[in-house]
Structure 1
Amino acid sequence: MGPSGGRAARFWRWLHPGRNPLSRPGDRLQARLFVVLLLLVLLAVPVAASVGSETYAGRMEVAERDADAKHRATAVLLADAPVSMGVGELETTPVRARWQTPDGTTRTGEVAAYRGSTTGSRIPVWLDDEGNLTTPPVTTAAAATDGVSVGISVWLAVAGVCAAVFAAVHGVLHRLRLAQWARDWARVEREWTRH
């Protein structure tokens, strides 16, 4: 039997101690706990996929509403954007600009422009139905990314909790085994000193 067969056999014996006289109750408990937690992690896959799918569907509804309620426009800068950037500042800065609303009204306000942009630069912006600046609409790619991210996060959370439970139980059992080992050695030492 090759090395991988040996490892597989050892793993199977660890997972299923059976009636081995050398296996302790803690070994059986740990093996059963591992199987239960592994099943929970596997059962979490469809649950995580369902949660991710629901998130995707919700974000797609927002994307559809945004597509109807948000309009692309172009703002023209009325001033130069500052060039210098301090520590911790963003690459963009608010600059006074002018744009036209969907009904043709001209509005002015501050838009985010890259540092160093000059007067007259054209900046793409998004407007709501009233012509106010708003955030860009949710895209289908962003909705898909959110759905996948949430699904993976849910699965990782379940897997992490299961791993933490297994590690905690393993740690407790390991300390109990060491304590039993120390008691057994102390008993053997007393018997050896008598002879």
Structure 2
Amino acid sequence: MILVLCVLLIGSVPISYGVASSSFANDQVVDAHLGARYQVTAKAFPGPPALTPRGADRSPVMRRVRGSWTAPNGAPRSGDLMVELSPGGPDAVKIWVDRDGVRQPAPRSLADLLFVAILNGIALELGFVVAALLVYVAARFVLDRGRDRDWEHDWRRLAGVGTEA
């Protein structure tokens, strides 16, 4: 039983690797599909003066302001921007847009893609380990019950209890 479980767990490693590789490749395809993204500089319009330059943990506090930018196709665009809350405020913010200048999320970094792929592989491997442990515990439980029943039957037979029938 232990040997079978070990073989199953060892065999699950290539499967987990395959899932991680597939996840990585799929994420790259999704990013490539969304790929026509361009980084442009948007001019932030001045807002009201900032009251607090930093959060309690000294991290920058962000606020929404209006801004304008030029799309890669040359069309002027405007919209809301998230900028750091500071007395002067930034004049320019880097944003990601598509060919028509519509805001898009920034592309994921290679580190982000690898992190997700590795987590998928680890999660699958943990699933195999948990499943193998559950099978092992269930098999031990069933076998121990049968062994205890046989043991009890043999003791009764030796003691002469229940053998008169």
TM-score w.r.t. length of structure 1? 0.61
Unaligned runs of 5+ in 2: 161-165
Matched, 1:112 2:82: yes
Which residue, 34, 40, 55 being the options, matches 1:73?
40
User: What is aligned with 2:163?
Assistant: none
Which residue, 11, 21, 25 being the options, matches 1:57?
25
> Percent of aligned positions with the same letter in both sequences?
24
**RMSD between aligned residues:** 3.4
The alpha-carbon distance between structure 1 residues 122 and 174, as it changes in their structure 2 partners (threshold 3 A), is: farther
Supply the distance in 2 between the matched residues of 1:93 and 1:164 (Cα, whole angstroms).
50
Unaligned runs of 5+ in 1: 1-31
Supply the distance in 2 between the matched residues of 1:82 and 1:127 (Cα, whole angstroms).
31
Supply the distance in 1 between the matched residues of 2:66 and 2:28 (Cα, whole angstroms).
33
The alpha-carbon distance between structure 1 residues 52 and 112, as it changes in their structure 2 partners (threshold 3 A), is: same
- Classify the secondary structure of the residue corresponding to 2:124: helix
Higher helix share: 1
- Classify the secondary structure of the residue corresponding to 2:68: strand
Deviations 1:84-139 (A, max 9, x none): 87xxxx95343322222112332221122234474443222100111011101133
Supply the distance in 2 between the matched residues of 1:126 and 1:117 (Cα, whole angstroms).
25
Matched, 1:158 2:113: no
Shift of 1:51: 1.5
Supply the distance in 2 between the matched residues of 1:152 and 1:134 (Cα, whole angstroms).
30
CA contact (8 A) 1:62 1:138 kept: no
Residue-pair matches, total: 153
Question: Could you tell me which amino acid in structure 1 is paired with residue 18 of structure 2?
Answer: S
CA contact (8 A) 2:65 2:80 kept: yes
Shift of 1:147: 2.2
The alpha-carbon distance between structure 1 residues 131 and 164, as it changes in their structure 2 partners (threshold 3 A), is: same
CA contact (8 A) 1:63 1:139 kept: no
Question: Could you tell me which amino acid in structure 2 is paired with residue 57 of structure 1?
Answer: A
The alpha-carbon distance between structure 1 residues 97 and 178, as it changes in their structure 2 partners (threshold 3 A), is: farther
- Classify the secondary structure of the residue corresponding to 2:30: helix
Deviations 1:140-169 (A, max 9, x none): 333222222222221121112112222333
Supply the distance in 2 between the matched residues of 1:76 and 1:165 (Cα, whole angstroms).
61
CA contact (8 A) 2:21 2:117 kept: yes
Matched, 1:123 2:93: yes
Matched, 1:35 2:3: yes
After superposition, residues 1-195 of structure 1 pair within 5 angstroms as 32=1, 34-67=2-35, 69-78=36-45, 79-80=47-48, 83=52, 91-116=61-86, 118-174=88-144, 183=152
